[in-house]
A and B are shown apart, each in its own frame.
Chain A
Amino acid sequence: MNATLLGCAAAALVGIGLYGLIVHPHPLRKILAFNILGNGVFLLMGVVARRGAAAGFGGDPVPQALVITGIVVAFSATALAVALLLRLAEVSGRASLTPDAADPSIPAAPGRGDA
């Protein structure tokens, strides 16, 4: 069945996004990978909706409406993440998420590593 084929592609997108999220050190690439992961989840919901085709609809309209809401919320989260990242780069001059990266200009936080 066609929906199952597209469902497998959606599951693969989740895997591809997850891999990128873990492996990429640059936060912007992580944000992009997270969007790909999210697309996979939305598509899986689309496949579930397609399976629920009935009453003359090509797919169950309720999950489809939820996905539309989800896409908009995902976009606003992405915009917030990008703004945080730009601010981080402006303040620290770097775009690294690793707190321990040797940066002589930032003194080590006192008390860290104790107990």
Chain B
Amino acid sequence: MNPANLGLALDFGLSTLALGIAIYAIAVRTTYAAVVSFVAYGLLLALVWIRLAAPDVALTEAAIGGGLTGVLLLGAAARLRVTEAGVEKERPGRVLRALAALLAAAVTAALIAALLALPTPAPTLAYEAAAGAPATGVGNAVTATLMAFRATDTFLEKVVLLLALLGVWSLARDDRWGGRPGLRHQADPKGVLVFLARLLPPIGIVFGVYLLWVGADEPGGAFAGGTVIAAMWLLAIMAKLADTPPIAHRGVRLLLVAGPAVFLLVGLGGLAFGAAFLSYPESIAKPLIIGIEIAMTITIAVTLGLLVSGAPERVDR
């Protein structure tokens, strides 16, 4: 079999498997089974991203799409199990389901038609990215795009993360404001979970820092690195080796704003001494970018961990 056919067969197999699991995640009765299959599906999607020559996206999808979203939904499914039966009778009738299927099929068909109508040769910004990358000192074009060419997007995205966390916190009951997020986890001190929670974090933290550092020139970056570190923290929390911090804690607040604050300072520096907001002087572009990324990785890790933990529910007495 020649390599082109092999690639096609691989793509076909991957998409069939991902679609099959996605359909199962929608069709299966119990929410728990749906969430577990969603995690498997997220990891398959990461492989699809590799096939689309986007390893940076694949890392982010595997870490955030499959991993963290999975943990978030699993926790919610466990707490909402009692509500499942009550909602079941609201399931729409056969006619409405048929109409929904028709609408979904029409949307899919329209998207495929649009895809086939895309112009050839495809418009691309790859040349501009390649031409601009040397000025940033960053070898990975995706990192250069995130941190330099479209740095405003990335900055605002940090703000969105913070706003989402504020939204989650604001759902706390008044008397629990300032307390620790989430319920206290229970774990068998001799169980596998506790064993892994002691074994994995040292490796995971080093790997997270490695992803951050190598992201300048190879696939990786602040998002993937921060997510891996957040996952290690959540693992320790679930194994009851650590606890979520009270959200009123000043240190936690400082860590949460560190990333956007450094980003904003560098941006304003560009406005004061350079050409525009977030313009980096070419001679120190790379140190500035790495500096922002280090601060961002810490903030991303803390923010993601707290987003998964949810609203404050326990006040220390």
**Closest Cβ–Cβ distance, residue A7 to chain B (whole Å):** 5
Report yes or no: A71 in contact with B115, Cβ–Cβ below 8 A.
no
If A18-B104, A25-B92, A73-B157 touch, does A49 touch B22 (CB 8 Å cutoff)? no
Give the residue name and chain of the B residue nearest to A56 (CB): B130
Report yes or no: A19 in contact with B100, Cβ–Cβ below 8 A.
yes
A61-74 contact mask (Cβ, 8 Å, vs B): 1 or 0: 11011111101110
Report yes or no: A8 in contact with B115, Cβ–Cβ below 8 A.
yes
B8 contacts the other chain (CB 8 A): yes
> Complex Cα distance A49/B141, Å?
13
Report yes or no: A71 in contact with B125, Cβ–Cβ below 8 A.
no
Give the residue name and chain of the A residue nearest to B157 (CB): A69
**Closest Cβ–Cβ distance, residue B221 to chain A (whole Å):** 8
Partner of A68, one of B122, B141, B168, B223: B223
Residues on the A chain within 8 Å of B52, using CB: 3, 6, 43, 46-47, 49-50, 59
Report yes or no: B127 in contact with A55, Cβ–Cβ below 8 A.
yes
Majority secondary structure, B binding face:
helix
If A61-B142, A84-B171 touch, does A16 touch B22 (CB 8 Å cutoff)? yes
If A7-B112, A55-B130, A57-B129 touch, does A85 touch B76 (CB 8 Å cutoff)? yes
Report yes or no: B153 in contact with A57, Cβ–Cβ below 8 A.
no
Candidate in A24, A56, A69 with the most chain B CB atoms within 10 angstroms: A69
Residues on the B chain within 8 Å of A43, using CB: 45, 48-49, 52
Residues on the B chain within 8 Å of A20, using CB: 25-26
B307 contacts the other chain (CB 8 A): yes
Give the residue name and chain of the B residue nearest to A57 (CB): B126
> Complex Cα distance A48/B117, Å?
12
Task: How many A-B residue pairs have C-beta atoms within 8 angstroms? Tell me.
Answer: 285
Give the residue name and chain of the B residue nearest to A75 (CB): B64
Report yes or no: B87 in contact with A26, Cβ–Cβ below 8 A.
yes
**Closest Cβ–Cβ distance, residue A97 to chain B (whole Å):** 8
Residues on the B chain within 8 Å of A75, using CB: 64-65, 68-69, 304, 307
**Closest Cβ–Cβ distance, residue B223 to chain A (whole Å):** 6
Report yes or no: B103 in contact with A18, Cβ–Cβ below 8 A.
yes
Report yes or no: A28 in contact with B77, Cβ–Cβ below 8 A.
yes
> Complex Cα distance A53/B54, Å?
11
Report yes or no: A72 in contact with B18, Cβ–Cβ below 8 A.
no
**Closest Cβ–Cβ distance, residue B275 to chain A (whole Å):** 21
B60 contacts the other chain (CB 8 A): yes
If A23-B92, A101-B90 touch, does A82 touch B107 (CB 8 Å cutoff)? no
Report yes or no: B31 in contact with A26, Cβ–Cβ below 8 A.
yes
Residues on the A chain within 8 Å of B141, using CB: 57, 61
Report yes or no: A26 in contact with B84, Cβ–Cβ below 8 A.
yes
Binds A, one of B144-152, B184-192, B287-295: B144-152
Partner of B125, one of A3, A5, A29, A60: A60
Residues on the B chain within 8 Å of A12, using CB: 19, 108
Residues on the B chain within 8 Å of A72, using CB: 60, 64, 157, 161, 223
Residues on the A chain within 8 Å of B115, using CB: 4, 7-8, 11, 44, 47
Provide a sorted-by-A list of 10 A–B residue pairs whose CB atoms are within 8 angstroms: A11-B108, A16-B23, A22-B92, A28-B73, A53-B124, A60-B122, A71-B65, A71-B223, A75-B68, A82-B73
The 10 A-B pairs of least Cβ separation, nearest first, read A58-B53, A52-B124, A9-B15, A15-B108, A76-B164, A95-B83, A11-B111, A65-B145, A61-B141, A51-B122
